[in-house]
Amino acid sequence: MGFDSGSISFQRYAVVGKAPKTPDEALLAKLGEHVLRPSDEGIPSDVEWGWIGPRHVFDTRFEFENCIYNDCVYFALRVDTNKIPTEVKHAWQTIEEDAVAKENPSGFISKQQKRSVKDSINGKLDEELRSGKYRRCKMIPVLWDLPAGVLYGPASIGVREKLTELFSRTFDLDLEPLSSGSAALRELERRGKRREYEDFTPTRFAKSPEDPDAVAEYPWTAKGDGAKDFMGNEFLLWLWYEAQNRSGSIRTPAGEITIMFDRTLQLDCVFNHTGRDTLTATGPTRLPEAIDAIRSGKAPRKAGLIVDWAGGQFNLTLTGESLAVSTLKLPAVEKADTPRTLFEERITLLRDFGKGLDSLFETFLTARASGWNSTVLNIQKWIASHVRPVAVAVA
């Protein structure tokens, strides 16, 4: 579903380069130059992509009325796949080969006949692809906040590659996914603390039961000096600790923000020794299994959250390493006379949510960049304090 109604799922991207701050006709014209118009001639490519308007999958018009809201540009990426399922190809070939073999006295098909059948099937495949019968269209809404220099787009890595390639080709600008590592680097560079960022290494909050000397690896994140997306998993655990020890209220530069974990909690082993735990419940962090998981060396990777902030309540699921947001439910808009007014109010709420999330992450980074050892010690004590009572048999 798009940004104009219902719940929203997205990855945020920083727009890198000399980008416009306000929309104009020239910007919309560039979108029109790279619109996806599937050709009726020849055999289509396996995958095709391009821009479309925001209203529907066949919308090829980019006009202020439908694309510009609150200094944001609203459009969509269309991705078409043109592939005949392998099962269908196999069925056609088997049917043709059986028919040829039936005419032979031996009941078997010769190698030469097999090659002939294959050529015949390839011709049929080309005809079917030209007909468009197997074309599948996918529409991915995109919202470009020009004043903030941020684009809200897809989180899927496969679609992300197409988005970034097309955006660069269209506007001569780059998109940088705002994962936890890249967002941390941008913020700490702004503070003049790049060295602190470079010195960050994964935190071990608990020892591995299999190997007490094991180093925390966070194996699901990329390795190397530049990639530090384990920061997002540490952020989620820090949020959990702060929320539980401060009655859910966390003081940030933007004000008090109340956090509650809800619906779902996914954890993975930072040592790559054990598997994944997925807990589904109202208040999953209160389950004994949740504390058992982090005590055994697991860290949160995805969490359902309720965020009270800016006079409203935001419900969402946050992925730690990528900071991707899924199923975000914005507070209800009380007064909206027109669909345009409603959408512009939703954009304001979306911006408010982004400011709140950024402020929480910045508060975490302040702790991470200074005095982190004492914070880790407090978290370790907190984990150790949740010990299940041991049942004692009485004779």
With respect to residue 395, please indicate whether it lies within any of the assigned structural domains.
no
> Do 246 and 359 share a domain, yes or no?
yes
pLDDT given at position 392: 43
Mean pLDDT along residues 270-290? 92
pLDDT given at position 390: 42
With respect to residue 252, please indicate whether it lies within any of the assigned structural domains.
yes
Residue 391, pLDDT above cutoff 80:
no
Q: Average pLDDT over the chain, rounded to whole?
A: 91
358: left (phi > 0), else alpha (psi -120 to 50), else beta?
alpha
Nearest to 308 by CA among 264, 243, 368: 243
pLDDT given at position 165: 97
Domain boundary among 73, 100, 131: 131
Tell me how many domains the chain contains.
3
> Do 296 and 350 share a domain, yes or no?
yes
pLDDT given at position 395: 44
Residue 335, pLDDT above cutoff 80:
yes
Rounded to whole angstroms, how far apart are CA atoms 176 and 125? 39
With respect to residue 1, please indicate whether it lies within any of the assigned structural domains.
no
Q: Report CA dihedral (235, 323, 223, 150) to the nearest 10 degrees.
A: -130
pLDDT given at position 1: 57
pLDDT given at position 394: 47
Provide the residue range defining the domain that includes 121.
86-131
pLDDT per residue as tens digits for the range 62-109? 999 999 999 999 999 999 988 888 898 888 888 888 888 888 888 888
> Do 126 and 158 share a domain, yes or no?
no
Percent of the chain surpassing pLDDT 90:
70
pLDDT per residue as tens digits for the range 14-70? 999 999 999 999 999 999 999 988 776 677 788 999 999 999 999 999 999 999 999
> Do 124 and 138 share a domain, yes or no?
no
Single pTM value for the model: 0.89
Residue 251, pLDDT above cutoff 70:
yes
pLDDT per residue as tens digits for the range 373-390? 999 999 999 998 865 544
With respect to residue 240, please indicate whether it lies within any of the assigned structural domains.
yes
Residue 297, pLDDT above cutoff 70:
yes
> Do 266 and 163 share a domain, yes or no?
no
Residues 6+ apart with CB under 8 A from 194: 185, 188
> Do 39 and 141 share a domain, yes or no?
yes
Domain boundary among 150, 177, 204: 177
> Do 238 and 142 share a domain, yes or no?
no
DSSP structure string for 183-224: HHHHHHHHTT-HHHHHH------S--SS-TTPPP--TTSPPS
Which of the four pLDDT bands, split at 50, 70 and 90, describes residue 114? confident
In terms of pLDDT, which residue wins out, 120 or 164? 164
> Do 156 and 281 share a domain, yes or no?
no
Rounded to whole angstroms, how far apart are CA atoms 73 and 169? 17
- The three-state DSSP-derived secondary structure of 62-87 is CCHHHHEECCEEEEEEEEEEECCCHH
Which of the four pLDDT bands, split at 50, 70 and 90, describes residue 331? very high
pLDDT given at position 127: 83
> Do 306 and 245 share a domain, yes or no?
yes
Cα angle at 219 between 216 and 222, to 5 degrees? Answer: 115
Single-letter code of the amino acid located at 293:
A
Nearest to 258 by CA among 360, 363, 365: 360
Instruction: Choose the weakest-confidence range: 39-43, 136-140, 315-319, 339-343.
Output: 39-43
